[in-house]
Amino acid sequence: MLLVAAGCGDESPPVAASPSPTVVATPTATAERAPSTAALRRLERRHDARLGVYALDTGTGRELAYRADDRFPFASTFKALAAAALLREVGVDGLRKTVPVEQLVNAYSPVTEQRLGTRMSLNALASAAVRYSDNTAANLLLDELGGPKGLDAILAEEGDDVTRMDRPEPDLNVWEPGQVKDTSTPRALAGSLRTFVLGDALDAPERAQLTRWLRTNTTGGALIRAGVPDDWTVGDKTGTGATYGARNDIAVLWPPERDPIVLAIMTRGRAADAEPDDALVAAAAKATIAVLG
């Protein structure tokens, strides 16, 4: 059941929706007035920001979509997909492979900076990338996948032909209005996360490993995790852009005794020097869960 699908225009052109799940969008004018997204519209105005949300209750099929097909810079959320793609390619056993850590990315690398000049296993690198958002670790994962375009191709094979992966860290974090490279949509990211965590793209051991990384993420305490009930289990990956205050979180939520909910929240400011807004993401998560029940 589609609660609402808002297709409000952004600076970038419309894009095709991810094929899982498929919905028919409500006309924009109707969506903008829909009671189910009233709180999200108020949040946009209050925070002077652009907000995109897509949520799917996998048990009931109910969806909530608000600017769900608008493009946003995805920032570090891609690291969850890179780790998932690596698991698809090499399996849990293949994570034993070690690679040299020879050069640090000139950006946030809290784990690999302690291991410079040594070798790290792919398991340790994937953990660092997902759980600590380590940029050097993420780039080493991309190297194993054939670079950004290698990840792009794997996502397309799994049905996501919307997410556009072009550059490694830290360059992918720089975004300008109208830019398509290194962007995605809330619907596409939620769809890819669902495919890898809850679908059949990975075998059971690989799904379990990816889920453990996401559930033990250390960077999301102020985002979706702050907007859902305390007794819900959350597995998420955050992202922060270098321009326009981009701040994102993609997650699978496990409410007690219910099927999972997949949620993607993407935000950005309206000025190039805007600051990332954790409170907006948390409030959007809370408003979304209130609608889905």
Q: Helix 148-157 vs helix 78-94: angle between axes, to the nearest 10 degrees?
A: 80
* Upstream peptide bond of 21 is cis (omega within 30 degrees of 0): yes
The single residue of 169, 184, 192, 206 carrying the catalytic annotation is 169
- HEC profile for the chain? CEEEECCCCCCCCCCCCCCCCCCCCCCHHHHHHCHHHHHHHHHHHHHCEEEEEEEEECCCCCEEEECCCCCEECHHHHHHHHHHHHHHHHHHHHCCCEEECCCCCCCCCCCHHHCCCCEEEHHHHHHHHHHHCCHHHHHHHHHHHCCHHHHHHHHHHCCCCCCECCCCCCHHHCCCCCCCCCEECHHHHHHHHHHHHCCCCCCHHHHHHHHHHHHCCCCCCCCHHHHCCCCCEEEEEEEECCCCCCEEEEEEEECCCCCCEEEEEEEEECCCCCCCCHHHHHHHHHHHHHHHC
Active site residue 169: yes
The single residue of 18, 76, 127, 133 carrying the catalytic annotation is 76
Active site residue 76: yes
How is residue 192 written in tokens? Answer: 């890819």
Report, as residue numbers or ranges, the catalytic residues: 76, 169
